[in-house]
């Protein structure tokens, strides 16, 4: 089984595949900007490509529900990382050892309140990169329940999700680096927004 052909062939998750493609490119560019080892950059791109492949086994009426999910539906969605690991494990392909961990843990939070409850530096490094990029792309893309945010709006919301040690979604160091990278790389941010965003990490994020 070829994972890329499998995900691309699932017509009902077309939007999910587009999200994976954007995340693959963005997390790869972020890893390049961080000058990570080449093996880790490859792992990051593959994790971006396949991080949501488990949604192939989630009913589309849940994935594309326009309203809020109920408790049972949310539980099903939260299984997609583990389901993705199952799919990857069934593939007859040579894949990096860390890919399964990145797929399983891409919804972990620095404060331990993610899907699997893993905390801080126990979260694999590529999964920490992926969690930032995954949220950023989700916020800046149209969803059935809301229109896309601008890049500045998305970054502001992500900062609000990291407003202290009791509500820390992302690796603080990587998140600072992500904001700095977007300020340097994005053509969608105005000089005033860049100035505003550069001030946030030192003011609002713990060291």
163 vs 42, more confident: 42
The parent domain of residue 53 ranges over 3-204
What is the arithmetic mean of pLDDT over 138-159?
Answer: 88
Q: Give dist(CA 104, CA 79) in Å, integer.
A: 9
Q: What is the pLDDT of residues 15-47, one digit of tens each?
A: 777 888 999 999 999 999 999 999 999 999 999
pLDDT bin (cut points 50, 70, 90) of residue 186 is very high
206 vs 66, more confident: 66
The number of domains in the chain is: 1
pLDDT of 75 higher than 60: yes
Q: What is the CATH number of the domain that holds 7?
A: 1.10.3210.10
Contact 93, 82 (CB under 8 A): no
Contact 139, 158 (CB under 8 A): yes
At 2 the pLDDT is 47
Q: Give dist(CA 142, CA 133) in Å, integer.
A: 16
What is the arithmetic mean of pLDDT over 177-197?
Answer: 94
- Chain mean position to CA 148: 16
Q: Give dist(CA 48, CA 133) in Å, integer.
A: 9
What is the arithmetic mean of pLDDT over 76-83?
Answer: 94
* Dihedral sign computed on CA atoms, order 37, 115, 132, 70: positive
Q: Please report, for residues 32, 51, 65, 152, 155, the alpha-carbon distance to residue 186 in angstroms, rounded to integers and kept in the order given.
A: 15, 24, 31, 10, 12
Contact 55, 13 (CB under 8 A): yes
């Amino acid at each position: 089984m070829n994972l890329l052909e499998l995900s691309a062939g699932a017509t009902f998750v077309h939007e999910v595949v587009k999200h994976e493609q954007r995340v693959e490119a963005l997390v790869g560019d972020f890893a390049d900007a961080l000058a990570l080892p080449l093996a880790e950059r490859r792992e990051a791109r593959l994790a971006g490509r396949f991080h949501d492949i488990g949604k192939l086994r989630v009913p589309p009426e849940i994935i594309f529900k326009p309203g809020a999910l109920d408790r049972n539906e949310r539980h099903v969605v939260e299984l997609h990382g583990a389901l993705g690991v199952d799919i990857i494990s069934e593939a007859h392909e040579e894949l990096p050892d860390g890919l399964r961990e990145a797929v399983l843990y891409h919804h972990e939070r620095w404060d331990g309140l993610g899907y699997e409850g893993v905390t801080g530096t126990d979260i694999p490094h590529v999964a920490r990169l992926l969690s930032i990029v995954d949220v950023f792309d989700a916020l800046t893309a149209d969803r059935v329940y809301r229109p896309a945010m601008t890049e500045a709006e998305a970054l502001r919301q992500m900062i609000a999700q990291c407003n202290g040690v009791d509500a820390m979604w992302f690796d603080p160091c990587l998140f600072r680096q992500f904001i700095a990278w977007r300020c340097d790389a994005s053509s969608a941010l105005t000089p005033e927004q860049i100035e505003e965003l550069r001030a946030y990490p030192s003011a609002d994020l713990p060291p």
